[in-house]
Structure 1
């Protein structure tokens, strides 16, 4: 049985004194929790897979507030845990301050770049995977209007939206794309009620396929889409199973692989920047028994052709974060 020890409380206090010499890895989840059915849960899946395959154990903690970020990092480092893996760009500034204080500890951060010698920065080409699901959205849409609902309005999520819009336009240049963000604070990642409201609004504007890139908020988007009889697109984890036959596909972001690989390397973790895109299966789209009847062979063949072109470099998807602009979508 996998042993997962919480950071805070009596067990943590004991571990900090009696078990400091143990070089277990650690995983810190971002706001929204490890069972958000999306980004954090993908990280959890990777850690669990590592534990099951190796028989190893790891520590974990779920953030409840912004103030806990530095506290969690320092406590794990003081406890001798190595490497310490964290999910989310929001750890970036804190890790930049903490990492130099623990030069013998390796850190891995997902979705941000921290230029320190003991840090591995894992970033993804989300725009590439979003392009592929955008193509599917356009091919599946009967109204010619599709939607995008993001979580926190940050360049990273605009990167998802921009790639999606480019994929949609590649199939249907006349398509309408309705885009909304849930909010401007971290609470936007875990507000399924607001996600549902935004989905309802987009449906009223004619959207019959909605892509949610919003963490736990997306659960509300997918639920409302299913209730209203339209299609949705999941994100990060494969969410096709949540509403069989009504989730067109999911843009899978292999956060699970990134976490598993970091834990597998342990104290010998190779630092620097790791980029995961279509060419190395870092992002893609999900096909399984839950959406097989929604995606025809012709649809999949067209997407696979684009996927190969992206991987080879023949097709370049514009990255919003490089220019702070999107030729296919106005924000």
Structure 2
């Protein structure tokens, strides 16, 4: 399993400034997301893993499920135990702080906050439990006992943009963002740059489902479907969604239009059982290997050498990638490989803001 080097001090400072600009994390509606908890045991002889999921939790078919895969792998290898607590869209900071504290009080170590919304609460709780190792996905928490697990979403999204530009037959594509927070802007920026660098003539429609502190855009498949349908009606034939479970609605809309393609996010959505009936419309997915980051962190705690600081999973480290399931991008793979090489060697600098 690859280990990811820490960022330089300068990069870490830059990442810290993006504390409030994080996570493709909120992912599903409040249906089945009522601050629920579950646990599974592998005999209790190994690490006790605490997972504080974002809304939707296990079963969201995207972000949270990727984190769950990493924890499940670690549980299987280390005969561990997992305790899961799941957020609600109505959560307050106090709710998140209590969730993390409950896991620490119950003896779970490490504890992972899945999503940017845990940044403030983890800063407080990590200080109260200095002997517990905490991990946070898609945000930066500056504490001695926290591993900040981040990704270069803009780089993977650039490749998604290249694919979209090469596959559109109408020179018209779309981007659906869940919430207009800085992290999701990274997805938009990379995608649009990839499209325009490949074919400047291609039109890109962009729509966000909610704004500011309203995170419902990550949890509303109906809104995702409506937004994608509007783009399709307007002439777009490839739509990339970075919107949590709202993206499932966008995929459904695309599936209803012959010749149109959807680009998934976070997980390889072609292979998600719950989306199987739409898989032939999923061109590719911009996979964000949250499972790798979560597994690496848990393994480090198990090995007695907990990762800390900011650890970034980049395109060069296969932290982000384009899925090849279905074979729909096989004909353009050579061009995608060229674009990837240029990003990795620095020939292409991918923007993080639109």
Q: Which residue of 2 aligns with 1:153?
A: 180
Q: Which residue of 1 aligns with 2:164?
A: 137
Give the Cα–Cα distance (whole angstroms) in 2 for the partners of residues 265 and 310 of structure 1.
29
Q: Which residue of 1 aligns with 2:235?
A: 206
Alignment RMSD: 2.1
Q: Which residue of 2 aligns with 1:188?
A: 217
Q: Which residue of 2 aligns with 1:15?
A: none
Map 1:213-224 → 2, pairs under 5 A: 213-224=242-253
Q: Which residue of 2 aligns with 1:26?
A: 50
SS at match of 2:297: helix
Q: Which residue of 2 aligns with 1:98?
A: 125
Aligned partner (choices 66, 73, 93) of residue 91 of structure 2: 66
User: Are residues 1:237 and 2:267 paired?
Assistant: yes
User: Are residues 1:277 and 2:307 paired?
Assistant: no
User: Are residues 1:295 and 2:324 paired?
Assistant: no
- Greater shift in the superposed pair: 141-150 or 27-36: 27-36
Q: Offset at 1:33?
A: 2.1
Provide Cα deviations, 1:134-177, integer angstroms capped at 9, x if missing partner. 10001000010100001111010011001000000111111110
User: Are residues 1:310 and 2:343 paired?
Assistant: yes
Q: Which residue of 2 aligns with 1:16?
A: none
SS at match of 2:71: helix
Q: Which residue of 1 aligns with 2:22?
A: none
Provide Cα deviations, 1:103-144, integer angstroms capped at 9, x if missing partner. 111100010001111111111100000000110001000010
Aligned partner (choices 177, 187, 201) of residue 174 of structure 1: 201
SS at match of 1:103: coil
Structure 2 contact 50–84 (Cα < 8 Å) conserved: yes
Structure 1 contact 85–262 (Cα < 8 Å) conserved: no
When the two structures are aligned, how many residues end up with a matched partner? 305
Structure 1 contact 88–112 (Cα < 8 Å) conserved: yes
Give the Cα–Cα distance (whole angstroms) in 2 for the partners of residues 210 and 263 of structure 1.
35
Give the Cα–Cα distance (whole angstroms) in 2 for the partners of residues 309 and 259 of structure 1.
28
Provide Cα deviations, 1:57-114, integer angstroms capped at 9, x if missing partner. 2111111241331111011111221110111111111111211111111100010001
Q: Offset at 1:53?
A: 2.7
SS at match of 1:234: strand
Q: Which residue of 2 aligns with 1:225?
A: 254
Q: Which residue of 2 aligns with 1:88?
A: 115
Q: Offset at 1:22?
A: 8.5
User: Are residues 1:319 and 2:352 paired?
Assistant: yes
Q: Offset at 1:319?
A: 1.6
Q: Offset at 1:36?
A: 1.0
Q: Which residue of 1 aligns with 2:154?
A: 127
Q: Which residue of 1 aligns with 2:135?
A: 108
SS at match of 2:136: strand
Structure 2 contact 139–148 (Cα < 8 Å) conserved: yes
Structure 2 gaps of 5+ residues are 1-33
| Runs of 4+ more than 6 Å apart | 6-9
Query: Structure 1 residues 140, 51: CA separation in 2 closer, same or farther (over 3 Å shift)?
Result: same
Give the Cα–Cα distance (whole angstroms) in 2 for the partners of residues 165 and 227 of structure 1.
24
